[in-house]
């Protein structure tokens, strides 16, 4: 890894905030890119523009490409289907085309959302059946990478948590924003199941799996699972606010106007292939949440 040239796409988001420091410490030459230059170490790359992709590859000549760039807001993707397909599907095709032309190894990040939720849990070998435009466009990216490339990894993530109060766009920070705004009761769905997945642990695991050259598609989520309600209760406890904030169970219909994109009942993944090959480096989600929550404890204490 020390002599590698690593290109990272979509590195300005919550996953990039973990991937960049993890891979920057390897001694590799890292080029971190995004369309939103929200950090001084980012350079501009729009993966939807194949000419821009060609220029970056031609100038940097990466040996490894970590493809993080994606639109991940399900409701936005439902309302902006062209944008979803241009970024998650066509953008992934563009990067894969460059990877093959410049003979790189590609690491593509996908999602547990490619499943329909009809099973309780899914291994890497269960056939996907995506429900939303977000999931369909992400699954198209998976298919293209698998059929077009030989040297590739696809890692399916669960419910991402990472980036702290500044960059976390997902469940944990949505809860925290309510708490920081003074909420004393949280209404949390109990009919959605999955695996919280800590971005730092996810990035560190990629770093350890990449050198094996055991190419292919992997489920890569934190061990253990639960409902959204379970995660919220644990997060409130870790903040030390269990006696001040009530967590109330609701079903998904409670938020059907706000979160209208179709979501599977269960997004629980099993790291079957990682386990079988002895390269599962993912930790328990509760241990990871305990570590991650310290960022919010510090932020909350600074506010009160």
In percent, the amount of the chain with pLDDT more than 70 equals 100
Assigned domain for 231 exists: no
Q: pLDDT tens, 105-122?
A: 999 999 999 999 999 999
Cα separations in angstroms, 60 against 23, 46, 57, 104:
17, 15, 5, 12
Q: Classify residue 79: in a domain, yes or no.
A: yes
Residues spanned by the domain of 110: 5-226+259-303
pLDDT value of position 302: 86
Q: Total domain count for the chain?
A: 1
Does residue 240 form part of some domain? no
Mean pLDDT in residue range 265-278: 98
Mean pLDDT of all residues in 138-166: 97
Residue 283 has pLDDT above 80, yes or no: yes
pLDDT per residue as tens digits for the range 34-75: 999 999 999 999 999 999 999 999 999 999 999 999 999 999
Average pLDDT over residues 85-109: 98
Whether 95 is covered by a domain: the verdict is yes
Residue 203 lies in a domain: yes
pLDDT above 80: residue 277: yes
The mean per-residue pLDDT over the stretch 117-139 comes to: 97
Give the per-residue pLDDT at 221.
98
Average pLDDT over residues 73-93: 97
Question: For the chain, what is the mean pLDDT?
Answer: 96
Within a domain: 17: yes
Q: What is the mean pLDDT of residues 224-242?
A: 97
Q: Is residue 202 part of a domain?
A: yes
Q: Does the pLDDT at position 303 exceed 80?
A: no
Residue 276 belongs to a domain with what CATH number?
A: 3.40.50.720
Q: Is residue 239 part of a domain?
A: no
Where residue 304 falls among pLDDT bands split at 50, 70, 90? low
């Amino acid at each position: 890894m020390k002599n590698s040239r690593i290109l990272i796409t979509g590195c300005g988001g919550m996953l990039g905030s973990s991937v960049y420091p993890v891979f920057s410490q390897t001694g590799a030459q890292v080029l971190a890119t995004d369309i939103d230059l929200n950090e001084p170490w980012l350079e501009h790359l729009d993966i939807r523009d194949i000419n821009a992709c060609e220029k970056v590859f031609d100038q940097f000549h990466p040996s490894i490409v970590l493809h993080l760039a994606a639109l991940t807001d399900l409701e936005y993707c439902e309302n902006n289907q062209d944008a979803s397909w241009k970024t998650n599907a066509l953008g992934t095709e563009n990067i894969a085309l460059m990877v093959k032309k410049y003979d790189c190894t590609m690491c593509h990040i996908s999602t547990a959302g490619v499943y329909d939720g009809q099973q309780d849990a899914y291994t890497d070998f269960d056939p996907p059946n995506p429900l939303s435009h977000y999931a369909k466009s992400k699954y198209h990216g998976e298919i293209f990478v698998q059929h077009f490339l030989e040297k590739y990894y696809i890692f399916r993530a669960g419910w991402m948590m990472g980036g702290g109060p500044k960059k976390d766009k997902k469940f944990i920070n949505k809860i925290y924003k309510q708490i920081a705004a003074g909420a004393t009761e949280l209404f949390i769905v109990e009919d959605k199941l999955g695996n919280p997945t800590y971005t730092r642990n996810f990035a560190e695991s990629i770093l350890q799996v990449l050198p094996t050259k055991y190419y292919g598609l992997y489920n890569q989520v934190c061990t253990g699972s639960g409902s959204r309600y379970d995660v919220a209760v644990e997060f409130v406890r870790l903040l030390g606010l269990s006696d001040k904030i009530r967590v109330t169970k609701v079903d998904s219909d409670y938020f059907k106007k706000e979160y209208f994109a179709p979501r599977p009942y269960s997004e629980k993944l099993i790291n079957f292939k990682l386990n079988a090959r002895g390269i599962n480096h993912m930790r328990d989600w509760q241990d990871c949440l305990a570590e991650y929550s310290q960022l919010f404890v510090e932020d909350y204490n600074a506010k009160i």
